[in-house]
Structure 1
């Protein structure tokens, strides 16, 4: 029997290593690797007859998260199509003028708002096409734009529909709202620190430009953003601006106060938004079709992750790996598993994809931490701390998109931004510990 030759701990380690190698070398997509690898190792573990039940149990655990993400993506897509944020974009661009400080602050503010949809690629397209002409007109360093874009987007991705939070929750088998709620104060602290950083970088650019005597044009070059473009004016709903704003604010407040389960609120808000903004069935179908790819990619990934964790847990691999880890971790160190997880999330997420980290590493850490009495949701929150550093990972497609649009090298962006990303992560870590998002030590 194969399961007598290889211990569950060793099988689990090999399974996770195989999964990580396959997706980091792009031999398989994350979705296919999340399905094929655990099935193969589940068979090797002798659980062939029970794999179906394990997969279904794992999928059922993540079903609420997948449901919430489906309608969250659709809701914010509807709001963007309807033009809810267009006046804000115009106001920000009109306000920043030619002052480097205001331009940097405007970059951070607008990135945070546009990042509400949870799509880093869309955010990069919107912010860069809106602000790059302004940076060029003034003579500002485009690396500042890249840095603020990445930092604000990574912090806003703590939102339940942003991706990392959903992955962390699915990996440890808890509700995504349970992970996100206690992390809100730390996220706000990180955004505030990023605004202060934007002010500092803007001041530096103001002094540099003044010292160099760089002339500033009269502002005749106007930025154009696809976010507020007239390419599809028929889908904009400016007359419904106040209604959409009230609906969105009500949704955010409802989530903050936990008035109903997140999937229920998202489903209700989407149905209202779609019906009011696009009452004709043809228009609703067109909006759904336009955003179907984003929805399918997210939902399929979450369900595949459920299958992965279902087999990992059902075969006993994760418990065996946790026991093995506990046997070599001194109790004096293990008590600090939560802050240690937060610290190591910075280098790990830089060299690993989110899928490899959250579905391969975090479940093992959570199981080991449980031996010291640390809750799984606390480890999930701690694992999110390194996201500002992760946004500079060479494994991410958006960084290549952003650098291509900016006309800069990825290495230059990493050298310039990495120290600031680490600093913001440490600020979020300190705020998370101060507000009790996760404990400094067990017990």
Structure 2
């Protein structure tokens, strides 16, 4: 009975989210609580909910303050000199342009927002692509690869995996750092190859100054927020915050580093109290929306675990998995995770599907952390820029002026290749022991 009820809960949850009959926040709260009451758990349901919420405070805190921190230093213009330098450096040679596009998108995506990455990078580079008559699908592919490979500790998939599996961010992310470096090398290699292909297609012989480089224009409101004199201070502060988080994540929770970093960034860049309030208000909506979803996910995982539904489902599923194949679960999931982005939105996968896979793997002797890492190699990381289930995909095609089908056909193999390369790297480097 618990296994059947758990399966029905997940099916209803996925159906409600994917059909858009409920928002993820509503579905993650209402569906599991209703299932628990139907299962006869009564007032124990409230205990399940509270238990699920208890472990999420550090994760929610990190995500909220990371968004506020990166939003503040971006408002201060920390990325402006870097963006302008890249635009000047790429010149008019297609390989350099595509690689510069990739680097720019990689840097802008440091705040973890795909939408911001695309809104900054594509308008900055599009005029150059148009003036050289370069294929705009290449621009879309370059920014998609850069954003997809950049699964940092404060990005949505990493936060969701940590919350759904109740694992520290550092346990998931730190072993994947060399894997991500290999993925980045693959992405830049593909960017160079795409640029060379464009160079040959265009019969490029040199432009000799005939094409003007694009110039970024800031609105008066953006200009008023810029603090160019604080550029090096903000860079050093960011390095300290991120470096401490990666090297001392076990001793100093990332949430504390972003809290302190945000306070310092606000006091230095915007000493006026009213301006500090406005900067927080400007980015609070995005932070609170994700915080609400994460807390709702705590309700779902708390009920599923506390009621025993998750364990019962896993025990039932074990009968269908040959013991000899158990060790290959992370590898199989790592390869399949990117295409699964076309079927599941991040909330339904990480909060509905991943816990079940992790529980099955755990009972077969495979640590849940490996399952979480496998999912992060593609599920709404490399997969999100081509998934029809994410608004960012439509932002890419809209800004580039291309069709969704053309973007998916052109970019999907590149993103899938990055996911496969990283999965192989996990095996070679021993992240996934076989």
Instruction: Report the TM range for the smaller structure's normalisation.
Output: over 0.9
Q: Does 1:173 align with 2:166?
A: yes
| Structure 1 alignment gaps of length 5 or more | 1-6
The residue aligned with 1:220 is 212
Helix, strand or coil for the counterpart of 1:98?
Answer: coil
2:398 corresponds in structure 1 to: 404
- 2:266 maps to 274
Preserved CA contact (<8 Å) 1:309 1:359: yes
1:143 corresponds to 2:103: no
After superposing the two structures, state which structure 1 stretch, 324-333 or 193-202, moved more. 324-333
Is the contact between residue 182 and residue 436 of structure 1 (CA under 8 Å) also seen in structure 2? Answer: no
User: 1:397 deviation in Å?
Assistant: 0.6
* CA displacement, residues 272-301 of structure 1 (integer Å, 9 cap, x when unaligned): 111111111000000011111111111111
Q: Give the unaligned 5+ runs of structure 2.
A: none
Q: Deviations over 1:50-75 (max 9, x none)?
A: 11111111111111100111111111
CA distance in 2, matches of 1:435, 1:399: 32
CA distance in 1: counterparts of 2:283 and 2:21, whole angstroms: 27
Q: Deviations over 1:113-165 (max 9, x none)?
A: 00000111111110111011111011111111111111111221x21111101
CA deviations on 1:69-126 (whole Å, 9 max, x unpaired) are 1111111111100111100000000111111011000011011100000111111110
Q: Structure 2 residue aligned with 1:122, among 83, 104, 116?
A: 116
Quick one: which of 55, 67, 72 aligns to 1:61? 55
- The correspondence of residues 1-400 of structure 1 with structure 2, limited to 5 A, is 7-156=1-150, 158-210=151-203, 218-220=210-212, 222-224=214-216, 229-258=219-248, 260-386=252-378, 387-400=381-394
State how far apart, in whole Å, the 1-side matches of 2:272 and 2:258 are: 21
Distance between the aligned counterparts of 2:198 and 2:213, measured in 1?
A: 20
How far apart in 2 are the matches of 1:230 and 1:93?
A: 22
By how many angstroms is 1:335 displaced? 2.5
Contact 1:19–1:34 under 8 Å retained in 2: yes
Distance in structure 2 (CA, Å) of the matches to 1:401 and 1:271: 32
User: Cα offset for 1:438?
Assistant: 2.8
What is the aligned residue count? 430
Q: Note the alpha carbon deviations across 1:357-405, whole angstroms, 9 max, x for none.
A: 1111110011001112211111111111113134311111111111111
CA, structure 1 residues 216+55, in 2 after alignment: closer, same or farther (shift >3 Å)? farther
Q: Do the aligned partners of residues 215 and 93 (structure 1) sit closer, same or farther apart at CA in structure 2, a change above 3 Å counting?
A: closer
Partner Cα distance (2:215, 2:24) in 1: 37
Tell me by how many angstroms 1:214 deviates.
11
